[in-house]
Chain A
Amino acid sequence: MNIQQQVPRNALVWIIICLFALVAPHAARLPVWVLAVYVIAFIWRLQVHRGRWSFPGRWVKVAMTFSASLGIYLSYGTLIGLEPTVALLLTAFALKLIELSQRKDAYVLLFLGYFICVTEFLFSQDILITLLSVVNVTLVTTALVALHQPGEHQFNRGTIKLASTMLLQAVPLMLVVFFVFPRFGPLWTVPIKSHTAKTGMSDHMKPGDVASLSQSGDVAFRVKFEGEIPPKSELYWRGLVFSRLRQDIWSGLGFYEVPLSEQRPSKVSTSGSPLSYSIIMEPTQQNWLYGLHYARSNSPGVMQSSDFRLFSPGPLEAENMYSVNSWLNASADESLSDWRRKAETKLPPLGNLKTRELARELRSGVSSDEEFVDAILARFNIEPYVYTLRPGALAGDNQIDQFLFQSQRGFCEHFASAFVFMMRSAGVPARVVAGYQGGEINPVNNTVIVHQFDAHAWAEVWIEGKGWVRVDPTGAVSPDRIEWGLEEAMQAEGSFLAAAPLSALRFRSVPLLNMLRLRYDALTYRWQSWVVGFDRERQFDLLQRFFGGISAQIFATILLGSWVLVLVPVAISLFRKKDTHPVSRWDKQYLIFCGRMAKLGLVRAPGETPGQFAQRAVAELPVYAKELEQITRQYNAIAYAKVDGSGGSMGEALGRFTRTVTRFKPARRRGVIDETVSS
């Protein structure tokens, strides 16, 4: 085989490093057997390299490809969709290693490697993943460089230097292209992430759901307010509205259950300046968005439902950024349509009789719906109800009865659910709202971080003349929850994040760690808002700001200009003639001296020693005999003698020599010229 086509050993090592580095970020998503394929591929290739085993035959290759596809199919149940596709790609990547023998195989492998780097971003655009991907791209580039170092039979770590240098030089250009490259919408529909777990609130709620969600310390979303951050007790992030109760499970009204005339939200009159903020949501694979009461958004892809929720038409597969205006005091649905009144008072025909009884009893004791609300809250407050993350499981029928009259232990969803049930029992329109309450304020960048454990459920009651009014029964039981958050509310119980003993959030009491965590979170926010959230609108704004709009001409000018700006310095640094031999400082000084002499027509020949040159120079220019002698003596002392003749250190001698040379500014005086001419 032609040596040119061989894969140098150095490259092979880099390729294997790439292989494992590339699969690492994907590892958690892949079936275990794919990872096993990697190990097998590695061992096989190693044995081939050592001459123990041979390259696989054609049929072996076909069989391996087929079984890999079958394996993917069995693991995912399909070959279509993002995850199976990526898994297939990764498996092919490993299998390709086994048959890697020629340079063209390595090309395929490495370009596949770049592609795998890209696929990683489809799953996460986290900072850490990005950093890891930068490392991976560097590794793949290094392997590509190593591939073109024929005859490099030792693993050579130096190869990575060139790869990193090139990538670093490419970054500024990349940024320019990134910011000016026009963003189109998707050209065709792409495989979606069908196999990634949905996170956050689900589309229905049964007792215990929110409590279990509250075990997680993951971030749900981050909010940046344009003005002051409202008090925590006002931060009720509405996400879902549950209007239907069936078999103790609350759920929202389906799309087709709402008649066409009711599908548009009724007009809400707003007054005063709104609360403006933007939210970056982590991917949830669901399509609801969060916002404070009465939320309106101008961001593309954000819609409003008739129960004043915000939602996205498609599931959130990546970080999503949108901005919202909220009017906390606006009253929604000042008048209620008959259909909605009916829908919001509907209860299952049977069950929870004791609760219905209690509700009717309490309603009859008061004169207005508002007083009725207070009465129920008062009962929650007075009776020995316990707000707890460990409410104990309720089973069977009549779960609200069980909660209200027997266990009396519950988390927010128990209280909200019972409250709404009682309201509806008395014919008052009411519904459960699920979302998050509160959040952590990050002093570093003044964002509000809302975690999963801030998940909350509360109620909305329709009051004549006021519209939908938020009522939080949990506040009646545990005011701390609303005022301070879950951690304080659960302090006595010690159940906060009990399932995640190592979560950074548990170490909030350690100032240093807490500071680090908050700083990192601020960085994440900035990363998400700038890089991840960069879209057509932001691009337009940016270009508008700097260049006053964008046209093809400006686009081309920016591109070309930046190329010149970046490539010219790179070219200069590459092609600048460096001194082939590092010149010592005294040599440099001596050469300066030689340069001055050359201007007088006295050029030192290469083979001329300083002494010989000085002799010749003195004969030509006797006026400078003293200086020439001094320079030569000092140079010889520094360059050749171990100890400087006049004592003192090397540095001093060098300083003296430099001064002598600097002072020596010979000028060929007229007299001298005459002298030489006449002689």
Chain B
Amino acid sequence: MLMVAINFENNLSYALTFLLATLFLVATLHTYANLSGLTIRALRAQPAFAGQQSEFHIMVERSKQRDHYGLHIKWPQSSESLANLTEDDRVNIQLHMAVTNRGWFNPGRLLIESTYPLGLLRTWTWIDLDLHALVYPRPLASAELPGLATDTPDGAAAMVAGNDDFFGFRNYQKGDSLRQVHWKGLAKGQGMQTKQYTAYADRSVWLDWDLFAGLGTEQRLSQLCYWVLEFDSHKEEYGLRLPGLVIEPALGEKHRDRVLKALALFGKEDRPL
């Protein structure tokens, strides 16, 4: 265009050419402004099993000053999300990213970039978010639980620790909770007996670290993880015993998450720095 202006000695062409050139300059500010005033908030990260994709929830909030368009948000290895902030003051976006190792996973620095308004310039920023996904061990199927920690002869009413109805006594076995030992009976000389309670569930199971003797730590955790999922899907109560940690048998989502979290963080820092 400058060539046209020079060769035709046309002043208005000069003017227009310069206008576009300076527009480019002004656009740098506007491009930058498209990212300014944004607040990025880490909402939560969906726990995932190692090797799967974790879902990260992020909220982008704007200042009231202007609309923001075409924000590309992603981690270097994650899926990408495109957000506009026009009518709503905030949007929630989900990014997916593969997680590999058990424990707390930090996705690293988040990249936010945009080429709005003219597309000629790109502005970007890296953000460190305090967002960590809990990565459960990779579930490893094993054909059978090598010796259930229960000894239910008929499976009709499982003996479970719980606050439900008292059922009867049985001989104390190693591993029974001391709280459930029938101390009065022991005092009367009836020997070590354990109080038994029935639960509404049919069976309940102790998933014990020692069940998988001979395997490496990760493998044990993986197999435990598999069985947690198995029992959870069959709506059977289960408890967890790890070295230094006991989770009483129970059922339900919260319980499952608790157990899985224990597996995920076994031998690891609870909160990464």
Contact = CB atoms under 8 A, between A and B. Distances in A.
B14 to A, nearest CB: 6
B5 to A, nearest CB: 7
A145 B9 CA distance: 30
A478 B86 CA distance: 74
A184 interface: yes
A144 B118 contact: yes
Contact of A170 (B1, B19, B84, B116): B19
A3 B82 contact: yes
A36 interface: no
B118 A118 contact: no
A148 B269 CA distance: 44
A535 interface: yes
Nearest to B36: A575
A188 B9 CA distance: 11
B30 A125 contact: no
Contacts of A133: 12, 16
B16 A574 contact: no
B12 A184 contact: no
Contacts of B15: 174, 178, 531
A234 to B, nearest CB: 33
B25 to A, nearest CB: 6
B69 interface: yes
Contacts of B117: 144-145, 148, 162-163, 166
A115 B1 CA distance: 7
A570 to B, nearest CB: 6
B18 A531 contact: no
Given A149-B70, A149-B116, A575-B36, A137 B84 contact: no
Max chain A Cβ within 10 angstroms of own Cβ: one of B26, B118, B119: B26
Max chain A Cβ within 10 angstroms of own Cβ: one of B16, B33, B82, B115: B16
Contacts of A534: 11
Contact of B8 (A149, A163, A190, A574): A190
Nearest to B20: A114
B171 interface: no
Contacts of B5: 118
The dominant DSSP class at the A interface is helix
A150 B84 contact: yes
The dominant DSSP class at the B interface is helix
B29 A147 contact: no
A395 B116 CA distance: 71
A118 B23 contact: no
A183 B82 CA distance: 45
A122 interface: yes
B9 A580 contact: no
Contacts of B13: 118, 121-122
Interface in A115-142: 115, 117-119, 121-122, 125, 130, 133, 137, 141
A148 B7 contact: no
B150 interface: no
Contacts of B72: 4
Contact of B119 (A118, A144, A188): A144
A631 B26 CA distance: 47
6 contacts: A3-B82, A178-B18, A188-B7, A318-B8, A318-B9, A535-B9
Given A115-B4, A122-B13, A183-B9, 4 more contacts: A107-B119, A141-B118, A148-B69, A174-B15
Interface of A: 3-4, 103, 107, 114-115, 117-119, 121-122, 125, 130, 133, 137, 141, 144-145, 147-152, 162-163, 166-167, 169-171, 173-174, 177-178, 181, 183-188, 190, 318, 531-532, 534-535, 563, 567, 570-571, 574-575, 577-581
Interface of B: 1, 3-23, 25-27, 29-30, 32-33, 36-37, 63-65, 69-70, 72, 82, 84, 86, 115-119
